[in-house]
Amino acid sequence: MLLAILYTLHKFPYHFVFCSLFLVAASITQKPSSVTVEEGKNVSLLCKATGQPTPMIKWRKAFSHMSRRNTAVVDGNLTIINVTKADAGAYACSAKNLLGKDSAVALVAVTDKLKFTLFPPSKVVATELSNVKLDCAALGEKELVWKRTSQNLEQNYALYPSYPNGTLLLKNVSLSDAGSYTCVAKNSQRSIEATSVVEVETPTSCSSIKSDRSGSSSGNYIIDPDGEGGVTPFSVYCDMRDKGGVGVTIIGHDSESRTYVNHVNPGCGGAGCYRKDVTYTGVSTAQLAALSRVSQNCEQFIKYECNPYSPFVERGYAWWVSRDGTRMDYWGGATGHSKMCACGVSNSCSSGRKCNCPSNQGWSADSGLLTDKSTLPVSQIRLGDLNSSSEEGYYTLGKLKCYGQA
């Protein structure tokens, strides 16, 4: 009988055999697919076969022995648990019965366990216009992208790293760049995430701009000395070369030119009869006070040139008014000494007194820097008296300069 079957098999197509004898050679109906699997995970390779009699399914690994430690074959499917690099390779499934044999091969590639090797900082506080670098590196990743979540945007969107190692560079950040940035590392099966919250602040002064970005050039910038809330941000000129390049905030005003006063204009009598209010360009007193608080130093140049007959600070005929409205009875360079000018402090006045003005030797001048940042800037200049043809002078008030970080 068996001989007859074998003879028939040899001579006729299988379908004929199936039809006539219900015997069929083993044939694989589901071939295993090649897979990439992460180290530590489990993987199953499927293999199904038909045939009569029911084929036996066996697995083997090409070019090496299949580990018995972490593999199992159940219902013809091969499962490898807790995959290691050593499990990578080609796996062959073979189905066999007495009428024949069929086989199929699948490749198992093993990748490193997906994990971050470098996390981005969880929070970054950046000054406007500075660059923000968010580092991120992962092992076992197939792709690394950054996802942006902004308060102003409805949808997240992907940003590709600026550097091959996964670092995202945000250049010249503005307030709209504030938000969450999520580094997403993916392999073929899953992804992992790490998030950085970026806060963007307006710089507090030109010195803060310079310390954040040493290469900043002189020009107009927006600053907000007291940060969020409080006074509104305002525009200033930053001189990035003055004072050793520390970054000097400069505020101009409407009384910068050297101004002549005499008996015609203003032509007034009495101590401090002439008053000149000083208006700072586009800046409120509160904003100036905030700037002085965050600055290590503030200064303002002040000068008076007088003829021999004009009474001055020493006799209480001239003074300046602080930003909060207080009368200040000293002149530039005297750092608060009552009724004094710079030459009075150094004991070098031409008159031999506390100020050069007025001098019986002709025209003279008193000048110097006001440096008490708690009282600056000058809000008003008071001069007098100027009602006779012999009384005349010129006053000059410099821009407010603040520098250094308090």
325 is written with which tokens? 């409205």
Residue ranges of alpha helices (H) inside 103-164 are: none
Min dist CB 275 to Ca ion, Å, is: 17
Considering the rule CB under 5 A, would residue 224 count as an interface residue with Ca ion?
yes
> For Ca ion, which is the closer residue by CB, 79 or 389?
389
> For Ca ion, which is the closer residue by CB, 131 or 232?
232
- Rule CB under 5 A: choose which of 29, 33, 265, 388 binds Ca ion: 388
Cβ atoms of residues 335 and 371 within 8 Å: yes
Distance (Å, whole) CA 154 – CA 206: 35
Min dist CB 40 to Ca ion, Å, is: 51
> For Ca ion, which is the closer residue by CB, 278 or 291?
291
Min dist CB 289 to Ca ion, Å, is: 12
> For Ca ion, which is the closer residue by CB, 82 or 388?
388
Q: 143-162 mask for Ca ion (x: CB under 5 A)?
A: --------------------
> For Ca ion, which is the closer residue by CB, 32 or 225?
225
Closest C-alpha among 286, 193, 210, 304 to residue 248: 210
- Rule CB under 5 A: choose which of 226, 242, 329, 372 binds Ca ion: 226
- Rule CB under 5 A: choose which of 385, 393, 395, 399 binds Ca ion: 385
145 sits in which H/E element? strand 143-149
Distance (Å, whole) CA 251 – CA 343: 27
Considering the rule CB under 5 A, would residue 201 count as an interface residue with Ca ion?
no
66 is written with which tokens? 């299949």
Min dist CB 175 to Ca ion, Å, is: 12
Considering the rule CB under 5 A, would residue 270 count as an interface residue with Ca ion?
no
User: Segment 305-364, which members bind Ca ion (CB under 5 A)?
Assistant: none
Closest C-alpha among 253, 254, 218, 256 to residue 237: 218
Which residues does residue 204 pair with via DSSP β-bridges, in sequence order?
none
For Ca ion (CB under 5 A), the number of binding residues is 7
> For Ca ion, which is the closer residue by CB, 199 or 226?
226
Min dist CB 266 to Ca ion, Å, is: 12
Distances (CA, A) of 192 to 116, 147, 187, 245: 8, 12, 9, 45
Min dist CB 286 to Ca ion, Å, is: 10
> For Ca ion, which is the closer residue by CB, 154 or 228?
228
Cβ atoms of residues 186 and 160 within 8 Å: no
Concatenating the DSSP letter of every residue in 233-255 gives PEEEEEESSHHHHT-EEEE-BTT
Min dist CB 223 to Ca ion, Å, is: 9
> For Ca ion, which is the closer residue by CB, 224 or 366?
224
Distance (Å, whole) CA 138 – CA 187: 10
> For Ca ion, which is the closer residue by CB, 29 or 284?
284
131 phi and psi, to 5 degrees?
A: -100, 140
341 by Cβ neighbours in 10 Å (0-12 / 13-18 / 19+) ranks as buried
Min dist CB 122 to Ca ion, Å, is: 25
Closest C-alpha among 178, 396, 188, 397 to residue 299: 397
Q: 230-249 mask for Ca ion (x: CB under 5 A)?
A: xx------------------
- Which of these ranges, 78-86, 229-237, 352-360, 369-377, lies near Ca ion under the rule CB under 5 A? 229-237
Distance (Å, whole) CA 33 – CA 364: 99
| Site residues (vs Ca ion, CB under 5 A) | 224, 226, 230-231, 385, 387-388
